[in-house]
Amino acid sequence: MGKSVVVATSGGVDSAVTALLLKEAGYDAVCVTFRLHDGEPGSRSCCSPDTVLFARDTAHKMGLPHFTLDLKRLFDRRVMQDFVGSYAAGSTPNPCVSCNAHVKFHAASFLADRLGFDHVATGHYARVAEVDGRATLARAADAAKDQTYVLWPVPQELLARTVFPLGEYHKEEIRGIAADRGLAVAKTPESQDICFIPDGDYRGFVRREVEPEPGELVDGEGRVLGEHSGVVDYTVGQRRGIGVSAPAPLYVTEVRPQANQVVVGRKKDLLTDEVRVGGLNWFLDPGASESVQVRYNSEPVPCEVVPAEESGEWVARLAEPVSGVAPGQSAVFYTGDGQKVVGGGVVARRG
């Protein structure tokens, strides 16, 4: 393939240095920033209007052309509405995963095709590896910044044309490169966890879209312990804000939107040694899976992966119990060395 690339830039240091590194490596590079939401006046959250302007100025200072794509309607439908709907359905969504699955990589590839360019690139800390002629994800050199967990839904045909320059670097090196080249992004703070909720109040965001209905707070045997404020306020593993006093701490163990119930129990009730996964995207043969990661900041756990009776679902049988697995989270499978992604999907349920 040639050396032309469309770089998705978000106004932060990682994506800016990605573009710079590719330019210095001899790529014919252009930058694109996606207008995803309106944000708040003065907001520098990812892909808000002010951030788009900052990303454009940064690209121009690096001598690179810059494009802006207005994807607000797509982002609202495939990420923000999914976010709200997931909480209403008792699931715990990851909007970054949804954005990678439905928005960012497809949009960058669309522009690359329109321009006749070969590759796309983002500022993620990951690598692309080839196994038996098939592209898959490989962990970044900086294990603390590795982002393969949120990239599992990228279609293999898009991953095969993707470049991740930061996969070979550590974060402090990237900031050093930006400072050395005189880029204003060198000291920008880390991006928000949820770009369209800059204040971090996701419950308030969901409540503005869904009118919560109080219901029963029950234990595992169905005994009513109190009343909850609405299922959208609760996620599996939650301890704070349950509103019931007990001799030992209580945790949310299940959310039942159909019955309008929130189930609580002891910490041990959160443990599971089996996870059912649907909506899978396999890069390699499922039989290559030897471990699974079920939360962004957790370590992979050795497992055996087998097809479920239900069509399209798989079951991960864990070598040791893990806590707090919630429907809607991602389950990402890795090879025996823990370095390459076999595939990933969405947790349907535990046990």
Q: What is the C-alpha to C-alpha distance for residues 298 and 324, in angstroms, rounded to an integer?
A: 11
Residue 195 annotated as catalytic: yes
- Directed axis angle between helix 49-61 and helix 13-24, to 10°? 30
Q: What is the C-alpha to C-alpha distance for residues 83 and 77, in angstroms, rounded to an integer?
A: 10
Kind and range of the H or E run holding 172? helix 171-180
Q: What is the C-alpha to C-alpha distance for residues 82 and 103, in angstroms, rounded to an integer?
A: 13
**3-state SS assignment for residue 171:** helix
Contact predicate 277/346, CB 8 Å: yes
- For every residue of 56-83, DSSP letters joined together read HHHHHHTT--EEEEE-HHHHIIIIIHHH
Parallel/antiparallel/unpaired status of strands 330-334 and 291-293: antiparallel
Catalytic residue among 47, 96, 99, 303: 99
Catalytic residue among 31, 96, 195, 303: 195
* Paired tokens of 225: 């312990």
How many other CB atoms are there within 10 angstroms of residue 290's CB atom? 18
Which of the residues are catalytic?
A: 99, 195
